[in-house]
A and B are shown apart, each in its own frame.
Chain A
Amino acid sequence: MAKVVDRRRESQSDRYVSSRERLLKRHQKSVRKAVDQYLGSGKGVEQIGKESVDIPIPKEDLFEPSIVHGRGGINRRVHPGNEEFNAGDKLPKPPGGGGGGGSGEGEPSDQGDGEEGYVFQLTGDELKEMIFKDLELPNLERKSQDSDETEQHRAGFVKDGTPNRMDLVRSKTSQKMRQKASRKPIEKKIIKKLEEEYDIFRNYVADQDLYPDLAQDETYQAMTVAEKLSTMSDLVSNLDNEYRSVLSEDDVAIIDRLDSEIDALDKSKGLIPKWNKATDLRFRNYDERPVPADKAVMFCVRDTSGSINEEMMKDSTIFYWLLYHFLQEKYGEGKVEVVYIAHTTTAKEVTSDEFFNNRESGGTLVSPALELTKEILEERYRAADYNIYTAQCSDGDNSPNDNSKTMSLIGELLPQMQAFFYAETKSGQAWGDPNRSDLWETYKRIEGENPGKFFMGRIKQTRDVYTVFREFFTPANKENGPSAGVSSRGAQMRFEPKI
C-alpha cells in the first residue's frame, strides 16, 4: 500500500549547509569584496552579526561550463499562434540577433537567466566569520585568575554512581575478571581430581611413554590452568574409554567417586553469579576543577574635540565595533569588558551612549586620556588577570608640547598591555594636511620601537576602516593575502600546462 509521509516538520533546511560553506570558501574573494563594500558603506554597523546581508556575487564567478551550442548556424523553430505569416515570407532580422540566433560572432550568450549576478544571503554569523577570518590577535595569552568557574574533568572509574554514568565496557571487563577469578580455584580442584584419575589409569597402561608421568612432564607443568584442564579432561576421557573395563573393582569405586566429585565441582562453577552488582559495575568519575578564565578589557579612547567631524565619528565607530566584536570572537561572548574614555583637553570616563554620540568643542590634549587609562587600569584591571587592549581614534591633533608626555605615558602603559591600536581618522573635510599630524609623527617612533605591539593606521575614507583593521591583525607571515590554497579566481580554474 502507498505510504504517506508528512515531512514538513523535518528540518531539511540545513541540507545544503556544507555545500554553502564550500561555495563561500570557493568564492572567498568575491564574498570578501562584497563584505568590504558592505562595511565600507558604513551602514547599519550595529546590525552586523545580527541581520543577514545580501551579497551580490558576479555571475562570472559562479560559471560552470557545459557542452552547449553557441549562437549561429541554422536554427529552425516551430512556434504556435501564427497570425500574419505565409510560407516563403522573408523577414528582416531584428537587431541584436533576437529570435533564436544572431550573427554568431558577438558576445557569448550565457545560458539561462539574464540577470547580472547572484544575490547570496549571508547570515549574521557567516558575515562575522568572513570579517574576522584569517585574522589573529597579537599576544593572546591565557591569563588565569581566581574564579568561581569550574569545569568537569574525567577522573577514572569508581564502583558507585548513578546509572547514567555506568560504563558498560568497564563493567563487562570487571565482570569477566571476577568470573575468571572465582572459577580458578574450582578448576584447580578439578584438575587435581583428574590427575588422581590419570594416575590410577596409568597403572594399567602398557606403553608408559604415551602417558608420561605428569609430575615429571615439563610441558604439562608449564601449562596454564585452562590448558591443563582441557588436556587433562581429554586424556582422562580417552583412558576411561579404553581401560575402564580392565580396572580392578577398588579402582572403579575410586574413579566413580572422583567423577561424581568433579561433576559437583563443575556444577558449582555454573553457580557463580553472572552479575555481581556490588563488585562488577563501574561508573565514570568526574571531578570539578577551577578553569582559568580568559578575560579581556578594551579601552576605547576617543578624541571628541571640535576638529572631529561626522565622518570621522562614523569611521571610528566602525573601527571600535570591529575591534570589540573581534575581541569577543577570540575571548568569547561576555568576556570582554569595555572602558570608554572621551577626551578634549580633559578626559573622562563615559557610557557607551555618550561615547558614540556626543561631540564637544575645544582643543585637544592626548596625555590626560592616557593618564586616566593608567589610573583605571591600576585601580580595576590587574595585568595578571586581564588581557588589556587600547584603541585610540583621533584626527591626530595634539598640542605640540604634550607629545613628549604622551610618549612617556605610552611607554609606561605598553608593557602592561597586549596591544595598542591607533587609528587616525582623516575623513571628510579634515583640517590640515591629511598625510601629516603631530600625533602620527610621535607615534611613528613608538611603533618602530614596539613592533607587534603598537599598531597604527590612517583612515581617509570609510572603506579604509576595514583595510586598516585587517592590516593590524594579519599575521606577518600571511601578509601576502588571504589564506593560501583556496582558488582566488573563483570558478575559473587554475591550470598549469604540463609540457
Chain B
Amino acid sequence: MSKSKKKEEGYLKSIKTLLDNYQDGWQIFINANKAKTWDYPVLLKEGVSPSADLPDTWLGVVEKVCGIIAKEKYGLETYENTIEVISAEQMLDAYTSVGLPVNYEHWSFAKKRMQHENEYKRTRNLAFEIVINSDPAIAYCMESNSPMMQILVIAHASFGHNNFFRDNYMFKEYTNASDIIPLSRDLRDFIYECESRFGYQEVEQLLDSCHALQTHSVSANHFFKAKSTKYESDTDIFSGVNLKDQFNRKADKPEQPIDCGMEQNLLGYIADNAPHLPEWKRKIMRMMCEVATYFHPQRQTQVMNEGWASFWHHQIVHDLEELKLIDHGMMIEFMDSHGGVVRQPGINDTVTVAGPDGQPKEVPIYNGINPYALGFAMFHDIKRICENPTEEDKTFFPYLAGQDWLEAMKHARDHFKDESFIQQYLSPKLMRDFRFFAMEDDSDSRFIEILGIHDKQGFYKVRETLSAQYRLDELMPVMGVAEYYDKTDRRLVIQHQQHDKKPLEQKHISEITKHIHRLWEHPVIIQTVANDEVVSEVQCPLPPVNEAARRKNERALYRH
C-alpha cells in the first residue's frame, strides 16, 4: 500500500513540475476548453527557458500529462508518439490507405476513396482518430475535435492502442512496428519502378490478383523471408520446345503429387512455386504477404484493442478530473462522447426519427455487437472482479478475485486474442448485463433456434458461441494449398476446409480461381472439402470437353 502511495506521489510531482513552467499552470486544460481551441497558445512563465522537455503546443502538453499518468501511475509502456492534426479530406485519405502514410497507386484506392466520400457526404460522420502500429506510433486527430475530444483521443490512441500494439502477443508475433513504414515505402518505390519498366497495366493486373488473395496470404513464419527460388523459362533454350505444352501430357500411371501441407499463405506459395513468373512479380507478391501479415493481428484483436483503449481513455480522463485538471463541464462533454462510443443497442432497440411525411418513425438501430462496448465492459469487469468479487465471481474466476487488478488486466492484454479473451474472461454478470442470447440458423432447417439465453444453463453456450464468433475460420474460409501435380499438367489443388457447412461465395471464388490461374499459368482447382470428401470444386480453365464424347454427340446430331 505504501509502495503504491509513493508511486502516486511520484507521478503527481512530475505533473506539477511540468505544469509549473507554463503561465496557465494547472488551468491549462480548462483554459483551452474555455477558449474552445486545441490550438491554445502555451506560454512559458517568465524566466523559464524553452527546452526539449517542455512541449510548445497544447496537444504536446496533453500528450505529456497523459503519458505521465499512463507510464508513471499505471506502468503502460508505449512507442514514442507522433500526433498529426488532419482535415476531413485527409481523414478520408487516411481511411483509403488503411492508415499507411505511404501507399502505392491502384484504381481500387480511388474506389475506396469514392465510397468513403459518398458515405461521409451522407452521414457527415468520420472517426475522431486513426492510429498506426508503427514506431513512432502515428495518431491522426481530426481538426474538428474540441479540446476535450483531443484529450480523449490522445489518451485512447496514443496510450491505449499504442500500449496494446506494443505488448499484445499477436502484435509481437506478427508485426514489427519499426518495419511497416520502410516496408510500405519500399513497396511503393518498387511498384513505381516496375510500372515504369513494364507499364502500369501489367503491374495493375498483378496487384488485382494480390489484393484478391491478400486475406489468405498471412505468412505463418510471421516475418516473411524470401526463399531463393528456381523457376523455368517458358521455352527450352536449346530445342526451343515450349515447355508449357510438354507439361500437358498425360501421365502413364496415376501421379503422386507434391503434398503442400495445406499451406495457408496462398500468395506466398505461388510466389515461391509458380513455374513461370518473372522475379519482379514474385518480389511484389512477397511484399504484399508482408503487408497482409502486418494487418493480421488487427482482425483478431478488435474487441480487446478497442476495449483496452477505451478503458484507458476512461481511466486517464477520470484521473484528470480527480486532479482537477479538467472541470465538470468538460467531464460532462467527455461522458457524452464516451457513452456514445461504448453504447450497445439491443437487438430490438429502435430510435424515433422524423419520417418523410413529418410523422415520427421508429427505426431499428441494432447493427451487431459493438467491439468498443464489449471490450470496455470486459476490461472493466476484470477490474471489478479483482476489487469487489461476488460469490459467483469467486466460483468462476478464482484467479481474479482479490488480485491486483492492474496486473490481472495486463496479463489479459499480453496473452489473449478476442476469441480466447472472451472464452476466458466473459462473466455471467456481463452476460446478464448485455442480456446476451445465442441463436442458430441452419440453412437446412426451417427454423432459427435459440441455443441459450442469459441464465445459468445458457452461460456456457452463450460464451462458447460468442467466442467462436471471433474465431478466424468463422470470419473467413479456411483455405490451403493441398497438392501440386508437378510431373504432369502441373495443376494446383487448393482446398477449402468447410466449417459448419458454410459454402464459398461462388461469384467471388470463380474470379479468385481465374486470378490464381493467371499467376500459376497451369490448371487451378479450388475444392471444398467436408469430412475428407470433396463436396464441390471450381476450376480454371474449365475442363476441356471430352473429345470422344463430343464426336459421338456430333455424329448423333448428323444422323438426325
| A80 and B506 form a contact (CB under 8 A) | no
Determine how close the nearest CB of chain B comes to the CB of A59; give it in whole angstroms. 10
Contact of A66 among B117, B212, B346 (CB under 8 A): B212
State the interface size on chain A (CB cutoff 8 A): 73
B351 close to chain A: CB less than 8 A: no
Q: Which of A99-125 contact B (CB under 8 A)?
A: 99-104, 108-110, 113, 118-121
How far, in angstroms, from A92 to B449 measured CA to CA in the complex?
A: 9
Query: Residue on A with the closest CB to B88?
Result: A8
Determine how close the nearest CB of chain A comes to the CB of B362; give it in whole angstroms. 15
Determine how close the nearest CB of chain B comes to the CB of A112; give it in whole angstroms. 8
| B450 and A86 form a contact (CB under 8 A) | yes
Contacts A82-B453, A108-B505, A118-B115 given: A101-B443 contact, CB under 8 Å?
A: yes
Contact of A65 among B84, B200, B515 (CB under 8 A): B515
Q: Which of B38-84 contact A (CB under 8 A)?
A: 52-53, 55, 57, 59-60, 63-64, 67, 80-84
Q: Which of B473-518 contact A (CB under 8 A)?
A: 476-477, 479, 498-509, 511-512, 514-515, 517-518
Chain A facing B: main interface SS? loop
A89 close to chain B: CB less than 8 A: yes
B174 close to chain A: CB less than 8 A: no
Contacts A16-B109, A65-B512, A67-B508 given: A72-B469 contact, CB under 8 Å?
A: no
| A23 and B369 form a contact (CB under 8 A) | no
Determine how close the nearest CB of chain B comes to the CB of A1; give it in whole angstroms. 6
Contact residues in A for B521 (Cβ distance below 8 Å): 498
Contact residues in A for B52 (Cβ distance below 8 Å): 1
Interface 1/0s, chain B 360-373, versus A by CB < 8 A? 00000010010000
B307 close to chain A: CB less than 8 A: no
How far, in angstroms, from A100 to B474 measured CA to CA in the complex?
A: 13
Interface 1/0s, chain A 69-103, versus B by CB < 8 A? 11111111111111101111111110000011111
Query: Residue on B with the closest CB to A77?
Result: B439
A379 close to chain B: CB less than 8 A: no
Query: Residue on B with the closest CB to A104?
Result: B443
Contact of B503 among A63, A72, A76 (CB under 8 A): A72
Interface 1/0s, chain B 515-553, versus A by CB < 8 A? 101100101000000000000000011101000000000
Contacts A1-B52, A498-B521 given: A100-B441 contact, CB under 8 Å?
A: yes
How far, in angstroms, from A3 to B81 measured CA to CA in the complex?
A: 7
Q: Which of A462-499 contact B (CB under 8 A)?
A: 485, 492-493, 495, 497-499
Interface-facing stretch out of B2-10, B224-232, B283-291, B460-468: B460-468
B436 close to chain A: CB less than 8 A: yes
A2 close to chain B: CB less than 8 A: yes
| A81 and B503 form a contact (CB under 8 A) | no
| A22 and B200 form a contact (CB under 8 A) | yes
| A66 and B448 form a contact (CB under 8 A) | no
Contacts A5-B85, A493-B514 given: A78-B466 contact, CB under 8 Å?
A: yes
Contact of A73 among B115, B434, B443, B465 (CB under 8 A): B443
Query: Residue on A with the closest CB to B214?
Result: A66
How far, in angstroms, from A7 to B369 measured CA to CA in the complex?
A: 34
Contacts A81-B345, A81-B366 given: A113-B115 contact, CB under 8 Å?
A: yes
How far, in angstroms, from A160 to B549 measured CA to CA in the complex?
A: 88
How far, in angstroms, from A108 to B507 measured CA to CA in the complex?
A: 7
B458 close to chain A: CB less than 8 A: yes
Contact residues in B for A62 (Cβ distance below 8 Å): 111
Determine how close the nearest CB of chain A comes to the CB of B550; give it in whole angstroms. 15
How far, in angstroms, from A66 to B506 measured CA to CA in the complex?
A: 11
| B441 and A74 form a contact (CB under 8 A) | yes
| B113 and A497 form a contact (CB under 8 A) | no
How far, in angstroms, from A26 to B208 measured CA to CA in the complex?
A: 12
How far, in angstroms, from A120 to B121 measured CA to CA in the complex?
A: 13
Interface-facing stretch out of B89-97, B164-172, B383-391, B403-411: B89-97
| B447 and A90 form a contact (CB under 8 A) | yes
Query: Residue on A with the closest CB to B244?
Result: A498
| B511 and A16 form a contact (CB under 8 A) | no
| B89 and A82 form a contact (CB under 8 A) | no
How far, in angstroms, from A4 to B38 measured CA to CA in the complex?
A: 12
Contact of B346 among A4, A7, A83, A87 (CB under 8 A): A83
Interface-facing stretch out of B19-27, B100-108, B250-258, B295-303: B100-108
| B349 and A81 form a contact (CB under 8 A) | yes
B446 close to chain A: CB less than 8 A: yes
How far, in angstroms, from A102 to B443 measured CA to CA in the complex?
A: 6
Contact residues in A for B465 (Cβ distance below 8 Å): 76-78
Contact residues in A for B89 (Cβ distance below 8 Å): 12-13
Contact of B443 among A16, A25, A103, A109 (CB under 8 A): A103
Closest 3 CB pairs of A and B: A81-B346, A497-B541, A73-B502
Q: Offer 23 A-B interface pairs, CB within 8 angstroms, sorted by A.
A: A1-B52, A7-B86, A8-B87, A12-B93, A16-B105, A23-B110, A65-B507, A67-B504, A75-B441, A75-B442, A76-B469, A77-B465, A77-B469, A78-B369, A80-B344, A82-B454, A87-B455, A87-B461, A90-B450, A493-B205, A495-B541, A497-B517, A499-B248
Apart from A22-B110, A81-B366: 13 A-B pairs, beta carbons within 8 A: A4-B83, A12-B93, A16-B105, A26-B107, A64-B212, A67-B512, A69-B503, A79-B436, A82-B437, A90-B448, A91-B447, A108-B507, A118-B118
